Amino acid sequence: MSRSRRAPLRARHPARGFTLTELAVVLAIVGLLLGSMMLTFSAQVEQRNLAETQRRLDQAKELLLAFTVVRGRLPCPATTTSNGDESFSSGNATSGGTCTLTTHNGFLPAAAIGFSPVDSAGYALDAWNNRIRYAVSLATPVNSQTPRICRPVNDTTAPVVPHFTQRDNLRANGLDCSPSDLVVCTEAQAGTSCAAGQSATNQNTVVAVVLSTGKNGALGLAGANETENTDGDAVFVYRPPDPSSASGGEYDDLTAWIPVGLLYGRLTAAGVLP
């Protein structure tokens, strides 16, 4: 037998490992795959959070309407110190009255309407665990006029008796009173109404607003449009999300509202009005 035929198999076909280049290519491919999986997963989580927050805002609207049918009025907003319950400057939980907040930077009164989930202090939460905000029309009627009408919210000549948060007043004024303060626009405004072409709703139709400050909350890289939703005045913004490079700044808030027609429709159907 020749020498070459006796040589061990391993010597004739030496085992060959990965070269550094091959290892680098494999690692790069695995990295790309993991990265794309993480991106997909994170996009799915964000989509779920958005859908869940929208569901919670819809639930908040329904609970507010149900509260109004049962109590004959809308609840006052919760303040930062009311533990997620409504807060009055005069009046009480039974008949309602004048809300503590004279501005529109309150929170959803989760305790009053039975909303969950809430945080340890009792405030309603969105899917990012930020507190859900709530504003209600502060419109008041002019009692001397027949039929009674709502006076503009900045008219200080008539007694300040709220229409929508006071049960007896709402019943007495009936369907004649329209909200005269809250507006929802497609971008931030300098005044108290939407500029031409920037209305998300008609004036005098919004009786309450419920709002999530989105994933970035209210203190992120907020520009003018997000600031408009938390500055306490009666103007709110409803628009699609924007990146931080947008002219109105980053925007990820979710805004929903109750039109006065829907409110009066529910109260009429339930026999609370007229």
Q: Is the Cβ of residue 143 or residue 227 nearer to Ca ion in the bound state?
A: 227
Say how far apart CA 226 and CA 222 lie, in whole Å: 5
Under the binding rule (CB under 5 A), the answer on residue 105 touching Ca ion is no
Half-sphere exposure of 82 (CA within 13 A, CB side): 22
Q: Are 86 and 76 in contact (CB under 8 A)?
A: yes
Q: Is the Cβ of residue 102 or residue 268 nearer to Ca ion in the bound state?
A: 102
**Smallest distance, Å, CB 235 to Ca ion?**
4
**Smallest distance, Å, CB 232 to Ca ion?**
7
Instruction: Copy the structure tokens of residue 91.
Output: 């009046």
Which DSSP helix (H) or strand (E) runs through 50? helix 20-71
**Smallest distance, Å, CB 253 to Ca ion?**
5
Under the binding rule (CB under 5 A), the answer on residue 216 touching Ca ion is yes
**Smallest distance, Å, CB 252 to Ca ion?**
5
Which DSSP helix (H) or strand (E) runs through 229? helix 224-230
Give the closest residue to 72 by CA, choosing from 268, 267, 274: 267
Other residues' Cβ atoms within 10 Å of the Cβ of residue 51: 11
Q: Is the Cβ of residue 113 or residue 211 nearer to Ca ion in the bound state?
A: 211
Determine the interface stretch with Ca ion among 119-127, 144-152, 212-220, 263-271 (rule: CB under 5 A). Answer: 212-220
Question: One symbol per residue from 225 to 264: x for binding Ca ion (CB under 5 A), - otherwise; what is it?
Answer: -x-x--x-x-x----------------xx-----------
Bridge-based pairing of strands 96-99 and 106-107 is unpaired
Binding site for Ca ion (CB under 5 A): 213-214, 216, 226, 228, 231, 233, 235, 252-253
